[in-house]
Amino acid sequence: MEENKLFERAKEAIQAFDIAEEMCVVGPYGSGHINDTFLVEGEKNCILQRMNRNIFVKPEEVMANILGVTTFLKEKIKKANGDELRETLTVIFTKDGKPIYWDKQGDCWRMYYMIEDAISYDKVESEQDFYESAWAFGNFQQMLSDYPAATLYETIPQFHDTKERYHAFLQAVEADVCNRAKDVTAEITFFQDRKETAYVLGDMLAQGKLPLRVTHNDTKLNNIMMDKKTRKGICVIDLDTVMPGLAVHDFGDAIRFGASTGDEDEKDLSKVSCNMKLFQLYTKGFLKGCGGSLTDTEIAMLPMGAKVMTYECGMRFLTDYLKGDTYFKIHREGHNLDRCRTQIKLVKDMEDKWEQMKEIVKECSVKIKEIEK
C-alpha cells in the first residue's frame, strides 16, 4: 500500500522537472539502503529519487555539493575528451530552475540522467570487474584532489567519525528503546571488546599522520556504474556523502562490501569471509587509480581502513537494530541484525588474516612504485 502511494507521488513529482512530456515512472530501481530510487523511461531515460529527509536534513546543501563536484568533474572529463554525460552524474533541473522539487508533503525529489549501457553490481561477478571498480574509485579521488574542499558542506556530520559512532552505539544500548539488547549481548560485547578500533584512524588524523582529502565516503560496489561493453568503471554515483574524509575509509568501505564472499545480509555466516585475491586486486586497482598520491602512512594503513570500516558499519547496523530500524531500509525482520553479523564475521576473518593483508599491501605498493618510476 505504502509502496503504491509512493509510486503515485513519484509520478506526480516528475511533472515538476524539465523533461519531455511523455516520460513515465516505471518503478522502483536499484538496491540502495537510503533513498527511494525510481526508473523513469522516455526519450532519454532518467533516475528519480526521493531523498531521505531523516538522513539528509539539509537537502539543498547535498545538491550544492553534488552540483559543485559534477560541474568540476565535467570540465576535467571534457578536457580528457571523455563523455561528460556518462562519466559523471548530470542533475536535471525543475521547470523553475531548481535542483530539487519539494512536494506538498514536504518531501524532496531530484533527477539525474540514467547512465546508459552500464550496470551496478551488488556482488562481484568477475575479479577483473572488481579491479576496474577499484581503479575508478581511486581515480575519482585523484580527480578531486584539487577540488576546493572548504566549499563542501558536511552533509552528514561526523559521518565516518568511528569514535562518535561508538558513543552513539553505547547510547543505543543504554536506552534500549525496543528491549532488544538482551538478545544481542554477544554482538554488543564484540564491539566493546574492540573499542580501540573506533579510535585509531581518528587519532591519526588528529595527530596529522593522515591527511584529509575530498573523498566519496560510500564506496560500495553498487555505487559505481560499470560499462557493459568495456567493463570499465565508467561512473561513480551516489555522491550524497562526498566530503572531506580519509582515503583509507574509501578503500576500506569498498573491501568491506566487495571483497566479502557473501552478501552483506547473508544469514549463513559460513559463506562470509574476506577474499584475499579480491583484496589484492582492489589494492592494486585503488593504488593505480590514486596515481601515486597516497602517502606511505596511508598505504600502510589500508588494511586498518578495511577493518575499521567493517567494524563501524557492523556497529551502525546494530545501533539501528537497537533503535528500531529507523536509518537503513530493511526488507525483513532482523535484517539489520543479519547485516551486523556478517560484518562481525568479516572483522574476525580480517583479524585472522591480518599479517597476510599487510603483506599484500606492501607487495602491491612496491610493484606499483617500480612501474611508476
Binding residues for ligand ADP (CB under 6 A): 29-30, 32-35, 37, 47, 89, 112, 114-115, 120, 222-223, 225, 237-238, 240
State the binding partner of 365 from ligand GN1, ligand ADP, Mg ion, none, CB within 5 to 8 A by kind. Answer: none
| Closest distance of CB 312 from ligand GN1, Å | 8
State the binding partner of 121 from ligand GN1, Mg ion, ligand ADP, none, CB within 5 to 8 A by kind. Answer: none
32 touches Mg ion (CB under 5 A): yes
| Residues from 130 through 149 that contact ligand GN1 (CB under 6 A) | none
34 touches ligand GN1 (CB under 6 A): yes
How many Å from the N-terminal Cα to the C-terminal Cα in the chain?
61
250 touches ligand GN1 (CB under 6 A): no
Cα distances (Å, whole numbers) of residue 222 to 183, 196, 203: 32, 30, 30
- Between residues 139 and 223, which has the closer beta carbon with respect to Mg ion? 223
State the binding partner of 47 from ligand ADP, ligand GN1, Mg ion, none, CB within 5 to 8 A by kind. Answer: ligand ADP
Residues 295 and 317: their CA atoms lie apart, in Å, by 31
340 touches ligand GN1 (CB under 6 A): no
248 touches ligand GN1 (CB under 6 A): no
| Residues from 295 through 334 that contact ligand GN1 (CB under 6 A) | 313
- Between residues 114 and 308, which has the closer beta carbon with respect to ligand ADP? 114
| Closest distance of CB 201 from ligand GN1, Å | 16
79-100: burial string, b at 16+ Cβ within 10 Å, e else: eeeeeeebbbbebbbbeeebbb
250 touches Mg ion (CB under 5 A): no
Conformation bin of residue 367: beta by default, left when phi > 0, alpha when psi is -120 to 50: alpha
Residues 218 and 249: their CA atoms lie apart, in Å, by 9
Q: Which residues pair with 25 in a beta bridge?
A: 40
Residues 330 and 353: their CA atoms lie apart, in Å, by 31
197, 223, 260, 342: which one binds Mg ion (CB under 5 A): 223
| Residues from 254 through 273 that contact ligand GN1 (CB under 6 A) | 264
Chain-centroid distance of CA 106 in Å reads 26
- Report which residue type is found at 232: K
129, 238, 253, 349: which one binds Mg ion (CB under 5 A): 238
Q: Are 154 and 245 in contact (CB under 8 A)?
A: no
Q: What is the DSSP string of 232-293?
A: -EEEE--GGG-EEE-HHHHHHHHHHHHSBSS-TT-S-GGG--B-HHHHHHHHHHHHHHHTT-
State the binding partner of 248 from ligand GN1, Mg ion, ligand ADP, none, CB within 5 to 8 A by kind. Answer: none
Q: Are 201 and 304 in contact (CB under 8 A)?
A: yes
Q: Which residue is nearest to ligand GN1 (CB)?
A: 33
Determine the angle formed by the axes of helices 162-175 and 302-323, rounding to 10 degrees: 20
| Residues from 73 through 112 that contact ligand GN1 (CB under 6 A) | none
- Between residues 223 and 280, which has the closer beta carbon with respect to Mg ion? 223
Residues 203 and 220: their CA atoms lie apart, in Å, by 25
Q: Which of 250, 227, 252 is nearest to 117 (CA)?
A: 227
16, 19, 32, 51: which one binds ligand GN1 (CB under 6 A): 32
187 touches ligand GN1 (CB under 6 A): no
User: Looking at 7-15, 31-39, 205-213, 261-269, which segment touches Mg ion (CB under 5 A)?
Assistant: 31-39
Contact positions toward Mg ion, by CB under 5 A?
32, 223, 238
Contact positions toward ligand GN1, by CB under 6 A?
32-34, 218, 220, 223, 238, 240-241, 253, 264, 313
